[in-house]
Structure 1
Amino acid sequence: MAPTETLESIIATSGPPPHFVLVPLVAQGHIIPMVDLAHLLAERGARASLITTPVNAARLHSVADGARRAKLPLEIVELPFPPADDVLPQGCENVDQVTDNDHFLPLFHAIHRLAGPLESYLRALARRPSCIISDWCNSWTAGVASSVGIPRLFFHGPSCFYSLCDLNASTHGLHERAYTSATAEAEGHETYVVPGMPVRVEVTKATCVGFLDAPGFEAFREDCLEAIRTADGAVVNTFLDLEEQFVACYEAALGKPVWALGPFYINSNRDAQSMTSRGRKTSVDQSAVTEWLDAMDPGSVIYVSFGSIAQKLPKQLYEVGHGLEDSGQPLLWVVKDAEAALPEAAEWLKALEARTVGRGLVLRGWAPQLAILSHRAVGGFVTHCGWNSLLESIAHGVPIVTWPHFADQFLNERLAVDVLGIGVPVGAALPVMLFGDEAVPVVRGDVARAVSELMDGGEVAEERRRKAREYGERAHRAMEKGGSSYENLTLLIQSFRLSGGKETRHTGLQKEQQEKQIMSC
């Protein structure tokens, strides 16, 4: 590519642009980064088609409208959702609509029946797409891509640290050893070292769990691992200045390209409405939240949110609230509608607000997280360690209190605390049920201690804040022209423009940087 030429100008003068078909899992934490990736591709001149179902497409109206206003080649493609069986409630098309743990398996069976509609859509196109980028959990896209003759990359949403741990654990039989150990079965606290990692990583039976590890999902997980093996490469939402050694080792373990393109959401050309919702309508008044934050001292507020899925029973909510109150810090706490709707919780939350008037704000529903994290008043974030939230906090330079719940979150915590040095663990050691757990694994003293330690003015806390700010600066540099993620995206799009997707081999910046790390894997 000549120095004076841009990728966009080359695409504009060299025939039809490459066409990427993105297929996220129907879960909000998986849809959001794929929407952001679709924007990145479209803004660089490629055509991006995001595949989803009617309920999820309705949530993405603002995204589609924003793309039209900006004249971006981004479209939301709606496929009919397969008819629900007798178990799955009618209209349940997203993981966050599930209200019973027994409904997850039927939902995944229904999702897999989208293979036929997707193949019909692809075959009806005037030109064959350049590439399918599908969520790791959507293993059913492998057969579709093979049948139609389209290269396929898989997208794995968590940290590359987690992805490498999970792959190595599967390859070396760590999951099986943990689950068959008599000691682990009896106590659940025996530790295991994850093999093949460039740093020492210890897990327990409880904390080495990942995606699709629940009983009944064994066949789904095997299909996903096979789909990884047959893919042409991987796309990850991270950046080399954050996880360079883990990206390199993941690429070596897979034996195929791993494209580090994140943080996906850092995109100055997105309009405020589409960035705020990103597939979910915020249920709070953002101007009121901003006004409240404006009245707080810089770096004084602790922000608390536990993602879109896990729900807490009132007795755990009480422990969270009392712990936040006891910490003495100004607090901004997001509580789900379903949690706040319970009569005993609703009454208690009102009492908490009365006790913390002037320094406490409780938001009910879906909050504008990016706007909150970017505000100067926010000095810390109590998070469930979902990768989207963790990466958003990193990119805004905000240190965290880590409270993992399930899946990848315990290993994301290890990355934040042990490797990056930007987090304080609340002390959660066991996974919890998605819809409330009778156990109360974290009590108010744990919450107050961790928040106080994070927000402390001492030397250790200041060093943690310094590291968080530095990673935030690196995140933005990665997405700027000349940065590692920006250039990797250039190479990815260019490879499909030049080869029609027949090769996904990447060269240049990412390869040069990763070769330095391979020897440590």
Structure 2
Amino acid sequence: MEKSPGKLGRIVLVPCPAQGHLSPILQLGAVLHSQYGLSITVVHTNFNFPKNQPPPFRFISMPDHLSDEDISSNDFINVMSKLNINCKVPFRDVLGNLVQQAGGEEAGVACVIYDGVMHFPEEVARELGIQSMVFRTLCAGNIRIYKEYPRLVKEGYIPVHESKSLDDVPGLHPLRLKDLPVYKLKGYEGLLRLLEKACETGSSSTIIINTTEALDREALMELQKQHHIPVLAVGPLHKIAPPVSSSLLEEDGNCIRWLDKQAKNSVLYVSIGSIASVDEKELIEMAWGLANSKQPFLWVIRPGSVCGSEWTELLPEGFNESIRERGLIIKWAPQKEVLAHESTGGFWSHCGWNSTLESISEGVPMICTPSFGDQRVNTRYLCHVWKVGIVVENMERKEIDKAVRKLMVGEEGEMVRQRMMELKTRVDCSIKEGGSSDNSLHELVNLIPSV
């Protein structure tokens, strides 16, 4: 049963300052405001503070004391570790001020919802006597790995030895050792420490996950067994929330007009996301693989994503002449709009969870080239459990050409497309009235205290 709009007070969101983390937590805020009348305040680090601050959210910047060296290092684990130390006192000041300002027309703070890799908000909320909830931006299949890492280290499976990389992970079917986020990760000990802390929900009353039972049912059941608090799958949030402008990069909307001129399901959309990068050799192999496939493509090359290059300077000689009007290269795309376009017939992706959810939600089959983190786990599910993707193991032009043709014009690609449409239908059902995600959202709101 829903509570009355406007009586629940203010929700304070604390995102992790990375694109893949920011978008879903803002989508959650948009749902809580638009459907349930909650006031939303976003407390964000100075680092990556959003230029676009969509109404009706109130944004507050928080000092993070990161050095220029920290920021330029692109070391996600180090940055997250320092933010969890540096931001506790500034966040206590911000949250304390919000509590003091409550009264009159200013809603009181009912709850803090924080990204799971930013554990300091739970500590501060507990000290101030405010309820907190943890928000996870990964699939449940990834999250359940967290608590297994100590066992895998103790039993000698981590670090992963190359000779055993194809072995199954005991107790974590269908994953192989090479699918684990720590595979080939230098300094994996830092990641394990970060994830160990992220596993600790402390005094938080609820775990919220941007996934759906249609994709993650078994893993969600395992997670609920591990925790004494509710585990709620409320996604895919981008399909439930009203449009929220949360991109940290400028989107090139002109690509939609180019898509309008293409045949239905004919275009391969290519994007490796907001963080991943490639070297010159990989760029060249990608370019010739796409060119040789003879299939239309829309390729996002994010500025700075090619090592040693500002943008497209390292594309091979003769490439542009080879593709002519068949391909379009841009700096950043309105991805959800691209995937929803009828001309888009495939998505070559790094397979971050947001991209995975967005592709499934539009019924677009995938080519999978995971880089790091949760992407290998997502790829394993896409290609071997749901069977809606084709993996490219080696960034070589012949393998890329073969995968593109297989997906876009091959018989196997048509079967993959059909399975993806069936998966889309199941996900759609979960967000309709009475579906699993819809019910979980109602339960979430009922767990937020009135103030």
Q: Which TM-score applies when normalising by structure 1?
A: 0.78
Q: CA distance change for structure 1 residues 23 and 358 in 2, over 3 Å: closer, same or farther?
A: same
User: Deviation digits for residues 2-43 of structure 1, max 9, x if unmatched?
Assistant: xxxxx36x234xxx3243221111111111111111101111
**Contact 1:18–1:46 at 8 Å: present in 2 too?**
yes
Shift of 1:424: 0.8
Q: Give the aligned partner of residue 239 of structure 2.
A: 266
**Could you tell me which of 447, 466, 473 is aligned with 2:418?**
466
**Could you tell me which of 12, 15, 22 is aligned with 1:21?**
12
User: Deviation digits for residues 130-179 of structure 1, max 9, x if unmatched?
Assistant: 22221111122232122112222212211111112333x22633576222
Question: What CA distance in whole angstroms lies between the structure 1 residues aligned with 2:294 and 2:440?
Answer: 45
Q: CA distance change for structure 1 residues 242 and 186 in 2, over 3 Å: closer, same or farther?
A: closer
**Could you tell me which of 431, 439, 443 is aligned with 1:487?**
439
**Contact 1:59–1:281 at 8 Å: present in 2 too?**
no
User: Deviation digits for residues 63-84 of structure 1, max 9, x if unmatched?
Assistant: 23xx3xxxxxx322222232x3
Question: What CA distance in whole angstroms lies between the structure 2 residues aligned with 1:366 and 1:159?
Answer: 25
Question: What CA distance in whole angstroms lies between the structure 1 residues aligned with 2:314 and 2:69?
Answer: 34
Question: What CA distance in whole angstroms lies between the structure 1 residues aligned with 2:242 and 2:210?
Answer: 19
Q: Which amino acid aligns with 1:189?
A: S
Question: What CA distance in whole angstroms lies between the structure 2 residues aligned with 1:463 and 1:223?
Answer: 42
Q: How does 1:167-316 map to 2 (within 5 A)?
A: 167=147, 169-170=148-149, 172-173=151-152, 177-179=156-158, 184-185=160-161, 187=163, 189=165, 191-195=167-171, 197=172, 200-204=173-177, 207-209=180-182, 214-225=188-199, 227-228=200-201, 230-267=203-240, 269-270=242-243, 274=244, 277-284=245-252, 286=253, 288-316=254-282
Q: Give the aligned partner of residue 163 of structure 1.
A: 143
Q: CA distance change for structure 1 residues 171 and 424 in 2, over 3 Å: closer, same or farther?
A: same
More displaced, 142-151 or 305-314?
Answer: 142-151
Question: What CA distance in whole angstroms lies between the structure 2 residues aligned with 1:205 and 1:56?
Answer: 32
Question: What CA distance in whole angstroms lies between the structure 2 residues aligned with 1:425 and 1:85?
Answer: 38
Q: Which amino acid aligns with 1:136?
A: G
Q: CA distance change for structure 1 residues 119 and 315 in 2, over 3 Å: closer, same or farther?
A: same
More displaced, 151-160 or 465-474?
Answer: 465-474
Q: Give the aligned partner of residue 105 of structure 2.
A: none
Q: Which amino acid aligns with 1:47?
A: S
Q: Give the aligned partner of residue 300 of structure 2.
A: 334
Q: How does 1:355-394 map to 2 (within 5 A)?
A: 355-363=322-330, 365-394=331-360
Q: CA distance change for structure 1 residues 87 and 49 in 2, over 3 Å: closer, same or farther?
A: same
More displaced, 321-330 or 211-220?
Answer: 211-220
Q: CA distance change for structure 1 residues 312 and 479 in 2, over 3 Å: closer, same or farther?
A: same
User: Deviation digits for residues 287-329 of structure 1, max 9, x if unmatched?
Assistant: x312211111101111110011111111110011111112221
**Could you tell me which of 405, 426, 431 is aligned with 1:452?**
405
Q: CA distance change for structure 1 residues 47 and 171 in 2, over 3 Å: closer, same or farther?
A: farther
Q: How does 1:415-430 map to 2 (within 5 A)?
A: 415-427=381-393
Q: CA distance change for structure 1 residues 407 and 282 in 2, over 3 Å: closer, same or farther?
A: same
**Could you tell me which of 57, 80, 87 is aligned with 2:69?**
87
Note the residue ranges of structure 2 that are not aligned, 5 or more in a row. Answer: 103-107
Say whether residues 1:132 and 2:112 are aligned partners: yes
Shift of 1:101: 4.8
Question: What CA distance in whole angstroms lies between the structure 2 residues aligned with 1:175 and 1:24?
Answer: 32
**Aligned alpha-carbon RMSD (Å):** 2.7
Question: What CA distance in whole angstroms lies between the structure 2 residues aligned with 1:425 and 1:175?
Answer: 31
More displaced, 230-239 or 336-345?
Answer: 336-345
User: Deviation digits for residues 180-235 of structure 1, max 9, x if unmatched?
Assistant: 5xxx446362523241x5xx32322563428997344554333223x236532211
Question: What CA distance in whole angstroms lies between the structure 1 residues aligned with 2:186 and 2:228?
Answer: 23
Shift of 1:486: 2.1
Q: CA distance change for structure 1 residues 230 and 191 in 2, over 3 Å: closer, same or farther?
A: farther
Q: Which amino acid aligns with 1:342?
A: S
Q: Give the aligned partner of residue 399 of structure 1.
A: 365
Shift of 1:107: 5.8
User: Deviation digits for residues 105-134 of structure 1, max 9, x if unmatched?
Assistant: 256314531111111222222445222221
SS of 1:367's equivalent in the other structure is coil
SS of 1:382's equivalent in the other structure is strand
**Could you tell me which of 60, 66, 77 is aligned with 1:77?**
60
Q: Give the aligned partner of residue 52 of structure 2.
A: 60
More displaced, 250-259 or 36-45?
Answer: 250-259
Q: Which amino acid aligns with 1:232?
A: S
Question: What CA distance in whole angstroms lies between the structure 2 residues aligned with 1:412 and 1:370?
Answer: 19
Question: What CA distance in whole angstroms lies between the structure 2 residues aligned with 1:157 and 1:390?
Answer: 12
**Contact 2:175–2:380 at 8 Å: present in 1 too?**
no
Say whether residues 1:409 and 2:375 are aligned partners: yes
SS of 1:262's equivalent in the other structure is coil
Q: CA distance change for structure 1 residues 266 and 87 in 2, over 3 Å: closer, same or farther?
A: same
**Contact 2:336–2:358 at 8 Å: present in 1 too?**
yes
**Contact 1:188–1:206 at 8 Å: present in 2 too?**
no
Question: What CA distance in whole angstroms lies between the structure 2 residues aligned with 1:175 and 1:213?
Answer: 17
**Residues matched between the structures, number:** 441
Question: What CA distance in whole angstroms lies between the structure 2 residues aligned with 1:175 and 1:290?
Answer: 51
Q: Which amino acid aligns with 2:401?
A: A
Question: What CA distance in whole angstroms lies between the structure 1 residues aligned with 2:219 and 2:17?
Answer: 27
Q: Which amino acid aligns with 1:32?
A: S
Shift of 1:256: 2.4
Shift of 1:371: 1.1
Question: What CA distance in whole angstroms lies between the structure 1 residues aligned with 2:314 and 2:376?
Answer: 32
Question: What CA distance in whole angstroms lies between the structure 2 residues aligned with 1:386 and 1:344?
Answer: 22
**Contact 2:116–2:134 at 8 Å: present in 1 too?**
yes
Q: Give the aligned partner of residue 11 of structure 1.
A: 5
Note the residue ranges of structure 1 that are not aligned, 5 or more in a row. Answer: 2-6, 68-73, 93-97, 428-440, 501-521
Question: What CA distance in whole angstroms lies between the structure 2 residues aligned with 1:24 and 1:413?
Answer: 25
Q: Which TM-score applies when normalising by structure 2?
A: 0.89
Question: What CA distance in whole angstroms lies between the structure 1 residues aligned with 2:15 and 2:276?
Answer: 20
Shift of 1:488: 1.4
